[in-house]
Structure 1
């Protein structure tokens, strides 16, 4: 085995995931782990899953037959039932199923399960399939002392999909991941990696060679943001002045709370899915102002219009009426200027990461900075719902750290 394969093979977690680029041996690892699990009891049933029937027929079944033959384990593959029956002592059987229709994952109980390329499914379908699989994974094979049911996943990282949400973003106890790069497999042709490097753009190289999660949409809006490199554990100190970026959207009000450390912004908290402007103002007062924090709000300039709750009162006047200081220009900065200002703070030309984010306290902002892509019109995509908190985060940064432009005619500086 390669080093990542061996590391995964020895995991004792209940829900392990082997996430790797092309050629890292995901199917080989699946077959090895599946046979290991079957060699516990002749009554054990090991469930194997592929996204489609073609993958079962063309890849999974032939690989399992090859491995069983190499090990001298007698078997019979019933193609109609899609079950591999073995006749070796203390070796169970294998049921092969697809993920295309999760509702059909019924009628059997498995001792262990192995799921291949689940990230090729849409998130909702993948989640439903996962729930069905773990529900079926409850068999107690005869003769096994302290049986331990386990479901393993093997997948290429297909952007920020189900595998990222489950194992990469904030994994629950028992969810453990091993990531493998293509070049960890010494059995590949010598020019295999170089050929991929020459054929793929950077985002695909990150996913399909490095085995890392990356934005595979039409271009990331914030490509240099890193939840590791831009992370901080900092929180607001007692009585420390706060800067609050705010975006107005009824039932989806968003705010990002900053402190300034050494003249640079640190995002220490967020508020998402607020009901309306009065409730947001009340929340800021109760959570921060009444505890001694001076607050400056940098809101969406459209808040100078009437609020969504009271046509006779603007969002800005509601904030001011709550005793909050408001800093806002007559119009919002151009979207490209706001994006550029944020990106320059995330990582500048000198390699400095001047924007820090407490990713534990700002999970939605972190997801948004990682995942927001450009739409077909070249604008930041707003269809996913992650844009509100990013807009809120950008208003104070664009005002306090604007990108300075030099005109070609006068060479005078303008913001």
Structure 2
């Protein structure tokens, strides 16, 4: 069967994806519902026996958005169909074209008793993280129909959502991504069919961090302002690991039972945090672990300056003295730099690509950099969420090795507005199961 559709560049990239579990993550108005409908139609064109599963958070959204749009597309393509309200399904009577079953994700335990060939989950991040995880696992468990006339056709399940903070989509498609899970981003301005004042209206209605989520389609902290706004997991990612005998640079935060070490190596382009130590009991235990794991490495430690007066075990020796006696090079000022200086140094290091994080080896640090927010009452970085220790540790390293030098004379500068990417419409043609960019 031959179908034609006009798609934006992100939509086209999503359509030709061969990932088993692709996610279309976009801003408001980026065409998520349209993308879902078009891809579901294409999936149904594989076989008259194909059953396509469509999922939404609630029945109201399912009927108002998904059922209505798929019926519209079927009508446009001239495919005979009928909505069956009791079965919550659209049955087609077109030769070689499958059917659609519609289910909500508000009660995942009811996603049972049938098998789908392909599946599509809409607005997944509007659900709470664990609820979304349960629903997704139920969806992919049902997605195992084998087409008798097309046994070579593979099962796939796709997700579509606007980012709602660091919820399930971020955890599954970013933090714990595998080759089967691939994410496709679609900013609002990639859609050329929106009203001319739509984006300006959004910018006037939302604060900066919501603009990143609702226009750019980025995962951001939606609770309050994110402290380390320049950190982007993908852009700042590194695959660097520790090499035999090389110098280690360790940002160190002291807290009994919650010690944190950000262990970095130096490369031509800057510092790469390649390992972390989290939850070490105290300074003597930290020394033991470092000696055991990195016996052949020279070590420079950048600690919390308050460690010169803290005594974790022996009242006669401070944390810093213990580190020096262990043979480590301790790099520290008489007092800690201002919190703002540390934050600015870290953000600038990420912006200038001089600081990178191996998020696979340092999951605690990566999560903390993404999620630490400002306390709205004090204006200081929040210390209640447990993200402050990893961020403080990397800050002590950054402010010494990559400090931001204050200019001698303040000068106001005006940057020209950045040009949005050139997202031109691309004609996409469906011929059996192959989508080709024309």
- For Structure 1 versus Structure 2, the TM-score category normalised by the shorter chain is 0.7 to 0.9
Of structures 1 and 2, the one scoring higher in RCO (CA 8 A, sep 6+) is 2
Give me the whole-angstrom Cα distance separating, in 2, the residues matched to 1:341 and 1:10.
41
Stretches of structure 2 lacking an aligned partner (at least 5 in a row): 1-6, 408-438
**1:30: how far off?**
0.9
Indicate the SS of the match to 2:96.
Answer: coil
Determine whether 1:390 maps to 2:394: no
Q: How far, CA to CA, are the matches of 1:140 and 1:261 in structure 2?
A: 50
Query: Would the aligned equivalents of 1:248 and 1:303 in 2 still touch at CA under 8 Å?
Result: no
Matches within 5 A, 1:231-380: 236=242, 238-259=244-265, 265-288=271-294, 290-296=295-301, 298-299=303-304, 301=306, 304-307=309-312, 315-316=319-320, 319-320=323-324, 322-327=326-331, 332-347=336-351, 352-359=352-359, 361-377=361-377, 378-380=379-381
The correspondence of residues 23-102 of structure 1 with structure 2, limited to 5 A, is 23-102=29-108
Match of 2:127 in 1: 121
Q: Structure 1 pair 260/301, CA: closer, same or farther in 2 (3 Å)?
A: farther
User: 1:127: how far off?
Assistant: 1.2
Q: Give the superposition deviation at 1:57.
A: 2.1
- Provide closer, same or farther for how the CA distance between residues 2 and 364 of structure 1 changes in structure 2, counting only shifts above 3 A: same
How far off its partner does 1:172 sit?
0.3
- TM-score, normalised with respect to structure 2: 0.79
How far, CA to CA, are the matches of 2:97 and 2:169 in structure 1? 30
Name the structure 2 match of 1:413. Answer: none
Give, in angstroms, the shift of residue 47 of structure 1. Answer: 1.0
Equivalent residue pairs, number:
400
| Residues 81-139 of structure 1: per-residue CA shift (max 9 Å, x gap) | 32222233333222211112222222222121101110112222111111111111112
8 Å Cα contact 1:238-1:292 kept in structure 2: yes
Partner of 1:20: 26
Partner SS for 1:95: strand
CA distance in 2, matches of 1:405, 1:192: 39
TM-score, normalising length: structure 1: 0.83
C-alpha separation in 1, matches of 2:317 and 2:223: 40
Unaligned runs of 5+ in 1: 407-415
Structure 1 residues 95-114: aligned runs within 5 Å = 95-114=101-120
Match of 1:131 in 2: 137
Structure 1 residues 326 and 48, CA gap change in structure 2 (3 angstroms): same
Within 5 Å, give how 1:135-154 maps onto structure 2.
135-154=141-160
Question: Does structure 2 conserve the Cα–Cα contact (< 8 Å) formed by 1:34 and 1:114?
Answer: yes
Shift in Å, 1:295? 3.7
Stretch moving more, 332-341 or 33-42: 332-341
CA contact 1:297–1:327 (8 Å) conserved in 2: yes
